[in-house]
């Protein structure tokens, strides 16, 4: 059996297992085992992938599997991974695993909660292993829909409003994507006889430039909404603020990455000419995202809002780097996706844990928490330092690759906009240190906080897993970047073969 199929089978088995359980204890145990296996499997996949590459296999996609699913429209259940998707799968494995442990104490309808969570995760896994656009879209929807239930039922605050807003905005994105994908499908064969959804096959032909101009906007914005592209990012602060911990983790950690990944794999890869032409518009929008998100984060008072805006800023950098369309910057984009996924998952996990103790997320109401919950405090500082790009953690690696890559463009526009985006490192420091200062340092403001318990074992598992992953990438980024670079090379080659007719 193809290893990739397991990434779908294990979540299904886990869901079946949860259905058979009776209470919270059993269902969380089943989930933890299922997702633990899934995480290990994703590491095995990385290992197998590297081993296969070491033998000299240079095919674009490895471990391919193909089954015709819907003959009339030539839809396939087609799987395959390259270095980029393998990296994303490993990220998803880690975040989902940590997410299960962060929701160890869900008391309200635990079985349903874990089922929804795992369906969401399986959608994400399916998305990353699909090569067929239609199947990819299907998995994408599979990931987005449970989000509505998870926020609407297990959320907090104005949860119905947030759930509705998030789902509707993402659905608007899906609608645009649908148009884009169908458009690509109908031009996937020069003579209109052998229409296909297969990414690799489409990439070999050239979609007419007039269609590209039109479809590129649809697909890029469609994915961009999920990747928090300014000005379509406002679902993010509200959605995250209302979502339960694990959902925020998964959403910001991996679901938002679907946007960046899709924008890269579908929009830019299949429509490179249009991408070159229109990149400047989106470069401006994304660099606005980067700086604007950071400035907005600097004045928020709710921990989740701060982190949501910070995600807008960091995910903006992903799309920004993707649009730079050279090897180094795109590599940075993928590393940034992974890095941000881990960091933001860690942040949301910590916020959930702190909220569970203090019952508030307003930073002014807290203070001096380092003294009472040193473990969580230290991890929060680590997450903060990673987020502001301290060497030794993944954020620094990602940002440096992006800035260096983006700066390789010779024209003034790209370089100036790189410097604009780079200035976010200062603003990031401002808002991170503001939070750390108000939340953890200083005297304890509230006497009720004097007797808080520090992290429990399951919380430690959740956070330590993420910290280890962040540090591993930060200290030894080369294996990751090499893996990505190898798969990027043919894509970049295709991009650079195009006569650049952009405005600048």
Shortest Cβ 81–other proteins spacing (Å)? 22
Of residues 88-147, which lie at the interface with other proteins (CB under 8 A)? none
Stretch that binds other proteins, among 67-75, 91-99, 226-234, 265-273 (CB under 8 A): 226-234
Candidates 437, 450, 490, 504: give the one binding other proteins (CB under 8 A). 437
CB-nearer residue toward other proteins: 13 or 171: 171
Shortest Cβ 277–other proteins spacing (Å)? 25
Query: Which tokens is 423 given?
Result: 């200035």
Of residues 304-363, which lie at the interface with other proteins (CB under 8 A)? 327-328
Stretch that binds other proteins, among 109-117, 123-131, 192-200, 426-434 (CB under 8 A): 426-434
Query: Which tokens is 417 given?
Result: 């906009």
Candidates 57, 364, 482, 496: give the one binding other proteins (CB under 8 A). 482
Shortest Cβ 424–other proteins spacing (Å)? 9
Q: What is the DSSP letter of 56?
A: T
Classified as helix, coil or strand, 431 is helix
Shortest Cβ 171–other proteins spacing (Å)? 12
In whole angstroms, what is the distance from residue 175 CA to residue 170 CA? 9
Which residues are 130's β-sheet partners?
A: 79
In whole angstroms, what is the distance from residue 316 CA to residue 333 CA? 10
Of residues 228-287, which lie at the interface with other proteins (CB under 8 A)? 230-231, 233-235, 238
CB-nearer residue toward other proteins: 6 or 291: 291
In whole angstroms, what is the distance from residue 273 CA to residue 498 CA? 7
Candidates 188, 418, 463, 465: give the one binding other proteins (CB under 8 A). 418
CB-nearer residue toward other proteins: 131 or 170: 170
Candidates 109, 182, 433, 464: give the one binding other proteins (CB under 8 A). 433
Cα–Cα distances (Å) from 51 to 45, 47, 55, 85, 338, in that order, read 10, 6, 7, 16, 22
Q: Considering the rule CB under 8 A, would residue 31 count as an interface residue with other proteins? A: no
CB-nearer residue toward other proteins: 10 or 319: 319
CB-nearer residue toward other proteins: 142 or 390: 390
CB-nearer residue toward other proteins: 210 or 496: 496
Cβ–Cβ < 8 Å for 206, 271: no
Cβ–Cβ < 8 Å for 326, 485: no
Candidates 40, 59, 68, 168: give the one binding other proteins (CB under 8 A). 168
Q: Tokens 């204890």 label which residue?
A: 25
Shortest Cβ 434–other proteins spacing (Å)? 7
CB-nearer residue toward other proteins: 226 or 370: 370
Peptide bond into 157 cis (omega under 30): no
Shortest Cβ 426–other proteins spacing (Å)? 5
CB-nearer residue toward other proteins: 16 or 299: 299
Shortest Cβ 436–other proteins spacing (Å)? 8
Shortest Cβ 165–other proteins spacing (Å)? 7
Cα–Cα distances (Å) from 359 to 223, 246, 352, 356, 369, in that order, read 35, 17, 10, 6, 13
Cβ–Cβ < 8 Å for 185, 154: no
Candidates 6, 481, 484, 491: give the one binding other proteins (CB under 8 A). 481
Cβ–Cβ < 8 Å for 220, 282: yes
Return the CA Rg of the chain.
22
Of residues 388-407, which lie at the interface with other proteins (CB under 8 A)? 388-392, 396-397, 400-401, 403-405, 407
In whole angstroms, what is the distance from residue 255 CA to residue 266 CA? 16
CB crowding 249-265: b at 16 or more within 10 Å, else e: bbbbbbbbbbbbbbbbb
Classified as helix, coil or strand, 80 is strand
Shortest Cβ 401–other proteins spacing (Å)? 6
CB-nearer residue toward other proteins: 36 or 392: 392
Candidates 8, 50, 298, 420: give the one binding other proteins (CB under 8 A). 298
Find, among 319, 316, 314, 346, the residue nearest to 330 by Cα. 319
Question: Is the sign of the CA dihedral 452, 457, 461, 464 positive or negative?
Answer: positive
Shortest Cβ 419–other proteins spacing (Å)? 6
Find, among 333, 440, 331, the residue nearest to 385 by Cα. 440
In whole angstroms, what is the distance from residue 22 CA to residue 26 CA? 7
CA angle 270, 275, 280 (to 5 degrees): 165
CB-nearer residue toward other proteins: 122 or 296: 296
Candidates 299, 362, 500, 503: give the one binding other proteins (CB under 8 A). 299
Where is 172: in which H helix or E strand? Answer: helix 159-186
> Which spans of this chain sit near other proteins (rule: CB under 8 A)?
165, 168-169, 230-231, 233-235, 238, 292, 295-296, 298-300, 327-328, 368, 370-371, 385, 388-392, 396-397, 400-401, 403-405, 407-408, 418-419, 422-423, 425-426, 429-430, 433-434, 437, 440-443, 477-478, 481-482, 485
């Amino acid at each position: 059996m193809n290893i990739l199929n397991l990434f779908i089978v294990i979540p299904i088995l886990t869901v079946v297992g949860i259905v058979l359980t009776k209470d919270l204890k059993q269902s969380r145990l089943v989930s933890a085992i299922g997702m633990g296996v899934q995480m290990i499997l994703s590491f095995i996949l990385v290992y197998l992938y590297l081993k296969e590459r070491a033998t000299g296999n240079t095919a674009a996609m490895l471990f391919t599997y193909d089954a015709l699913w819907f003959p009339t429209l030539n839809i396939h259940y087609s799987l395959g991974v390259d270095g980029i998707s393998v990296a994303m799968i490993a990220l998803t494995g880690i975040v989902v695993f940590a997410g299960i442990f962060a929701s160890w104490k869900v008391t309200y309808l635990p079985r349903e909660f874990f089922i929804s969570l795992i369906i969401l995760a399986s959608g994400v896994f399916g998305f990353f292993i699909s090569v067929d656009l239609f199947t990819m879209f299907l998995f994408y929807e599979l990931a987005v829909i449970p989000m509505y239930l998870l926020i609407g039922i297990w959320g907090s605050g104005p949860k119905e409003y947030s759930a509705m807003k998030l789902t509707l905005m993402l659905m608007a994105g899906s609608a645009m994507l649908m148009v884009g994908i169908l458009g690509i499908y109908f031009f996937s064969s020069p003579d209109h006889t052998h229409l296909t959804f297969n990414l690799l096959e489409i990439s070999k032909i050239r979609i007419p430039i007039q269609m590209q101009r039109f479809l590129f906007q649809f697909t890029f914005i469609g994915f961009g909404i999920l990747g928090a592209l300014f000005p379509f990012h406002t679902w993010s602060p509200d959605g995250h603020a209302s979502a339960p911990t694990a959902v925020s983790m998964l959403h910001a950690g991996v679901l938002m990455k679907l946007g960046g990944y899709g924008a890269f794999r579908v929009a830019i890869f299949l429509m490179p000419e249009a991408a070159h032409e229109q990149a400047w518009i989106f470069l401006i929008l994304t660099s606005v995202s980067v700086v604007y998100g950071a400035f907005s984060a600097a004045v928020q008072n709710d921990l989740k809002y701060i982190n949501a805006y910070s995600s807008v800023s960091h995910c903006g950098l992903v799309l920004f780097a993707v649009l730079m369309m050279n090897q180094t910057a795109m590599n940075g984009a993928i590393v940034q996706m992974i890095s941000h996924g881990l960091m933001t998952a860690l942040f949301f996990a910590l916020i959930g844990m702190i909220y569970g103790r203090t019952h508030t997320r307003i930073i002014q109401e807290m203070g001096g928490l380092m003294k009472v919950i040193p473990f969580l405090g230290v991890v929060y500082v680590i997450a903060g330092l990673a987020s502001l790009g301290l060497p030794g953690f993944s954020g620094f690696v990602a940002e440096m690759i992006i800035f260096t890559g983006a700066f390789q463009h010779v024209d003034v526009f790209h370089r100036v906009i790189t410097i604009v985006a780079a200035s976010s490192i200062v603003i990031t420091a401002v808002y991170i240190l503001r939070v750390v200062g108000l939340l953890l340092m200083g005297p304890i403001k509230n006497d009720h906080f004097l007797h808080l318990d520090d992290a429990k074992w399951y919380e430690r598992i959740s956070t330590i897993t993420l910290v280890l992953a962040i540090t591993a990438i930060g200290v030894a980024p080369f294996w990751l970047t090499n893996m990505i670079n190898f798969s990027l090379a043919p894509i970049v080659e295709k991009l650079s073969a195009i006569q650049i007719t952009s405005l600048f």
